[in-house]
Amino acid sequence: MKQKLNSGKKIICLNRKASFNYFFLEIIEAGISLKGSEVKSLRDGKGSIADSYAVDSNGELFLINSHIPLYRQSSYNNHNPKSDRKLLLNRKEINKLIGRINQEGLTVIPTKMYFAKGKVKVEIAVAKGKKLYDKRQVKKTRDWNREKARLLSKNNK
The count of C-alpha atoms lying within 13 angstroms of the C-alpha of 70, restricted to the half-sphere facing its C-beta, is 9
Fold of domain 9-130: Small Protein B; Chain: A; (2.40.280)
Q: If 0-12 CB within 10 Å is exposed, 13-18 middle and 19+ buried, where does residue 39 land? A: middle
- Strand 9-14 relative to strand 22-32: parallel, antiparallel, unpaired? unpaired
Q: Structural domain boundaries of the chain?
A: 9-130
Coil, helix or strand at residue 60: strand
- Strand 9-14 relative to strand 53-57: parallel, antiparallel, unpaired? unpaired
Question: Based on C-alpha coordinates, what's the Rg of the chain?
Answer: 19
Q: What pLDDT tens digit does each residue of the chain (157 aa) get?
A: 444 555 678 888 888 888 888 888 989 999 998 888 888 888 888 888 888 988 888 888 999 998 888 877 777 777 777 888 899 999 999 998 888 888 777 889 999 999 998 889 999 999 888 888 778 888 899 899 999 898 888 888 7
